[in-house]
């Protein structure tokens, strides 16, 4: 997924671990509320793809370069060594494509602690460019959150889920992290996951079912997890993964696309975010595990009738359109016969044949079997697809995710950005790994589909578009976690007095249908739309937040999102709260940084909250605008 550094990750958790509030006491037990002192909460951050530092665990001499790799040297991401010794760097990064082992000459392992996810390439210039969670940690410090209340759980994002457990016992360690935090702080944890971190958390929940007694599973979840914030979750995958597999995605690094493809395709995780159909599932792995006749492997991958009645597997368009060199032998198209229509006249005349593949045909391997004679990576991808995904003994991740049995779930993502949803590939005439070239790209943009040249494309576009990396239909799948009746609120993202807030109560929601609010928009305002349900499941709350123009990479740095997370969790644990969710009626400044100078009125904006108060060192008027009252006093407006 895009945004190597940032793509990823997980969490916003810190905000919630606020210091004790005066008058803290017991909250109610209904609606997923936390009964106890909020100072007992912990925050668990699960990073996403490429958002954890990797360090060398070997000694590697690099010829023709003054820089070598020594134990604990930074590998991901050390831009200096990437530029000066790219071949050595690749040895430390790439894995064996079949068994996921390291290069014999260099081994890399994930770093630990918060420092592993704050900045990937620390430095005066490179640090800000590779910053992931640094700004969020600063927010936590400003609000007085204790250091032991924030826990990062980095992992080797190159591995498939089963290899994470097999090699590093990652899910055992994650379980111990929850239990240690509970013992240390005396209360449950708040989970923040971003991008692929949500895939990791999903796998953990399924793994946990098989690890502890079935009767204690829900009890363990209730005791150890208070809330789950899913930020930018690719719940149905992302087409960008296919682009990285066929032509390479450099993530902005100074490497060729071919080199990026070689590296990406050596990772077992390269398939984890492949797009798949919402209509196809596997057999219940949990039931098969306890069945006396169960056997590992060969789990059925079955699709319902909607898959064959609807176009494009529920996606806006076909994921891949590819030109295949013509041959006369049917053997050149394994599994092609009966799966894809051929233009026989073109085949006979020797013209290339263009084939189209839906999300289902990508996820079930049909696409890779079709191009097996034309691409050396197809064999490896088919092996990983079967071994690490379709036949995974815990979970086939390439299946839709039903609402997890957690008390409080908040699904958060950006919308209305130009997002890639389909590709046209053709042979480039160059040798592997540069043997494919992208000839066109299909984008979704605010309810329509466009080609790279700007032409309108037919398809099934959604009501909105995605976050520049993950399409809307994948991000918004979590709307299916809402119940039959939903309350919808749309409010400006910036501080506001409530004059532009729109509310629709008790909106009916049909299963597997999108919820499209009939609300107005000002073209110059970025909105945040809240879909909230606290009634459908007794004792549980579900909310979906859509942020206009928040892209996949930068949403984790969004001050708007950090503010909303903070307010929601502060409200959640307050003993005098009057509603299930925090009010959206107004949004005022909470920090000195939120106050600014209004040049039109020659005063500080928000005069009821902010005042002009010069302190030595201020260099402009806005810096001298500060809160009149403490943040604790301001928060009382949101009870």
| Chain segment 459-476, per-residue pLDDT in tens | 999 999 999 999 999 999
How does residue 125 score in pLDDT terms, banded at 50, 70 and 90?
low
| Chain segment 348-400, per-residue pLDDT in tens | 455 778 999 999 999 999 999 999 999 999 999 999 999 999 999 999 999 99
- In angstroms, how far is CA 480 from the centroid of its own chain? 17
Partner residues linked to 440 by β-bridges? 424
Among candidate residues 437, 439, 441, 465, the one with its CA nearest the CA of residue 452: 441
Indicate the range of 238-247, 411-420, 558-567 predicted with least confidence. Answer: 558-567
Distances (CA, A) of 558 to 11, 30, 206: 12, 31, 31
Segment 445-449 long-range contacts (CB within 8 Å, at least 24 positions apart): 445/416, 445/418, 445/419, 446/416, 449/316, 449/317, 449/421
pLDDT at 34: 47
Q: What is the mean pLDDT of residues 195-219?
A: 96
Using only C-alpha atoms, the chain has a radius of gyration, in whole angstroms, of: 25
Among candidate residues 380, 240, 361, 349, the one with its CA nearest the CA of residue 311: 361
Indicate the range of 37-51, 155-169, 211-225, 313-327 predicted with least confidence. Answer: 37-51
Higher pLDDT pick, 537 / 319: 319
pLDDT at 131: 73
Q: What is the mean pLDDT of residues 240-244?
A: 95
Q: What is the mean pLDDT of residues 251-277?
A: 93
pLDDT at 472: 97
Distances (CA, A) of 462 to 27, 51, 159, 475: 40, 29, 32, 11
The C-alpha atoms of residue 38 and residue 16 are separated, in whole angstroms, by 8
pLDDT at 618: 93
Decide if pLDDT at 29 tops 90.
no
pLDDT at 119: 82
Decide if pLDDT at 344 tops 50.
no
pLDDT at 301: 73
Decide if pLDDT at 9 tops 70.
no
pLDDT at 15: 38
Q: How many CA atoms lie within 13 A of 579 on its CB side?
A: 12
How does residue 129 score in pLDDT terms, banded at 50, 70 and 90?
low
What mean pLDDT, rounded, does the chain reach? Answer: 85
Indicate the range of 130-144, 196-210, 229-243, 494-508 predicted with least confidence. Answer: 130-144
Q: What percent of the chain has pLDDT over 90?
A: 62
How does residue 297 score in pLDDT terms, banded at 50, 70 and 90?
very low
CA angle 76, 80, 81 (to 5 degrees): 65
Number of helical H runs and strand E runs in the chain: 20, 23
Decide if pLDDT at 22 tops 70.
no
First to last CA, the chain: 38
pLDDT at 121: 79
Query: How many Cβ atoms sit within 10 Å of the Cβ of residue 308?
Result: 10
pTM of the model: 0.88
Is residue 168 within a helix (H) or strand (E), and if so which, with residue range? helix 161-168
Decide if pLDDT at 341 tops 70.
no
Higher pLDDT pick, 531 / 147: 531
pLDDT at 502: 96
Among candidate residues 620, 587, 602, 572, the one with its CA nearest the CA of residue 24: 572
Q: What is the mean pLDDT of residues 76-96?
A: 91
Among candidate residues 90, 136, 95, 94, the one with its CA nearest the CA of residue 114: 136
How does residue 295 score in pLDDT terms, banded at 50, 70 and 90?
very low
Sheet arrangement for strand 448-451 = 353-357, 320-324, 419-427, 436-445, 448-451
Ramachandran bin of 365, using left for φ above 0, alpha for ψ from -120 to 50, beta for the remaining angles:
left
pLDDT at 143: 66
pLDDT at 284: 61
| Chain segment 562-601, per-residue pLDDT in tens | 889 888 988 888 888 888 999 999 998 988 888 999 999 9
Higher pLDDT pick, 332 / 128: 128
pLDDT at 231: 95
The C-alpha atoms of residue 250 and residue 248 are separated, in whole angstroms, by 6
Using DSSP bridges, classify how beta strands 419-427 and 320-324 pair: parallel, antiparallel or unpaired: parallel
pLDDT at 632: 73
The answer, yes or no, to whether the previous bond of 316 is cis (omega within 30 of 0) is no
Decide if pLDDT at 516 tops 60.
yes
The C-alpha atoms of residue 526 and residue 517 are separated, in whole angstroms, by 16
Q: What is the mean pLDDT of residues 135-141?
A: 74
Q: Which residues contact 638 (CB under 8 A, 6 or more apart)?
A: 567, 570, 571, 582, 583
pLDDT at 348: 47
The C-alpha atoms of residue 564 and residue 323 are separated, in whole angstroms, by 47
Q: What is the mean pLDDT of residues 18-32?
A: 39
Q: What is the mean pLDDT of residues 110-125?
A: 83
Q: At what angle do helices 559-572 and 134-142 cross, to 10 degrees?
A: 40
């Amino acid at each position: 997924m895009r945004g190597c550094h940032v793509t990823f990750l997980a969490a916003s958790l810190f905000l919630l671990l606020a210091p004790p509030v005066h008058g803290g006491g017991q909250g109610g037990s209904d609606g997923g509320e936390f009964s106890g002192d909020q100072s007992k909460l912990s925050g668990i951050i699960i990073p996403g793809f490429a958002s954890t530092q990797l360090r060398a665990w070997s000694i590697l001499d690099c010829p023709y370069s003054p820089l070598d790799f020594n134990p604990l040297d930074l590998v991901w991401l050390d831009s200096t060594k990437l530029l000066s010794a790219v071949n050595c760097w690749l040895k430390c990064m790439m894995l064996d494509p079949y068994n996921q082992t390291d290069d014999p000459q260099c081994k890399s392992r994930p770093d630990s602690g918060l420092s592993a996810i704050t900045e990937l390439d620390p430095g005066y210039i490179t640090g800000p460019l590779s910053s992931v969670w640094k700004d969020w940690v600063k927010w936590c410090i400003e609000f007085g959150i204790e250091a032991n209340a924030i826990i990062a759980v980095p992992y080797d994002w190159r591995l498939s889920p089963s290899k994470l457990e097999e090699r590093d016992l990652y899910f055992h360690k994650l379980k111990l992290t929850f239990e240690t935090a509970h013992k240390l702080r005396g209360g449950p944890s708040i989970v923040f996951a971003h991008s692929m971190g949500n895939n990791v958390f999903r796998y953990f929940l399924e793994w946990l079912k098989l690890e502890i007694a079935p009767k204690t599973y829900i009890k363990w979840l209730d005791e150890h997890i208070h809330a789950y914030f899913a930020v930018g979750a690719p719940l149905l995958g992302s087409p960008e993964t296919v682009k990285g597999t066929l032509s390479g995605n450099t993530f902005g690094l100074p490497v060729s696309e071919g080199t990026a493809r070689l590296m990406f395709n050596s990772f077992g995780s390269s398939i984890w975010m492949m797009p798949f159909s919402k209509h196809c599932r596997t057999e219940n792995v949990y039931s098969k595990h306890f069945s006396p006749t169960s056997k590992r492997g060969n789990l059925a991958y079955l699709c319902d009738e909607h898959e064959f009645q609807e176009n494009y597997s529920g996606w806006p368009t076909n994921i891949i359109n590819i030109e295949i060199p013509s041959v006369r032998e049917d053997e050149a198209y394994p599994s092609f016969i009966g799966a894809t229509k051929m233009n026989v006249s073109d085949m006979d005349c020797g013209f290339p044949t263009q084939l189209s593949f839906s999300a289902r045909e990508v996820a079930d391997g049909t696409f890779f079997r079709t191009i097996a004679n034309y691409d050396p990576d197809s064999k490896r991808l088919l092996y990983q697809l079967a071994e690490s995904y379709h036949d995974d003994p815990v979970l086939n991740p390439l299946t839709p995710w039903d609402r997890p049995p957690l008390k409080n779930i908040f699904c958060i993502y950006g919308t209305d950005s130009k997002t890639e949803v389909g590709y046209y590939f053709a042979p480039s005439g160059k040798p592997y790994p540069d043997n494919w070239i992208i000839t066109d790209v299909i984008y979704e943009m605010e309810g329509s589909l466009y080609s790279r040249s700007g032409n309108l494309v037919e398809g099934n576009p959604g009501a909105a578009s995605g976050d520049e990396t993950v399409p809307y239909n994948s991000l918004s799948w979590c709307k299916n976690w809402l119940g039959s009746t939903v309350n919808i609120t749309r409010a400006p993202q910036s501080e506001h007095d409530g004059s532009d807030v729109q509310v629709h109560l008790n909106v009916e929601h049909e299963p597997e249908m999108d919820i499209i609010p009939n609300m107005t928009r000002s073209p110059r305002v970025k909105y945040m739309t809240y879909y909230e349900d606290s009634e459908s499941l007794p004792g549980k709350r579900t909310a979906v937040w859509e942020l206009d123009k928040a892209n996949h990479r930068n949403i984790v740095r969004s001050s708007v999102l950090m503010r909303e997370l903070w307010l929601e969790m502060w409200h959640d644990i307050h003993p005098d709260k009057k509603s299930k969710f925090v009010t959206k009626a107004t949004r005022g400044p909470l920090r000195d940084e939120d106050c600014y100078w209004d040049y039109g009125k020659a005063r500080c904006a928000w005069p009821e909250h902010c005042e002009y108060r010069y302190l030595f060192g201020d260099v402009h008027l806005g810096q001298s605008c500060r809160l009149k009252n403490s943040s604790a006093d301001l928060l009382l407006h949101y009870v």
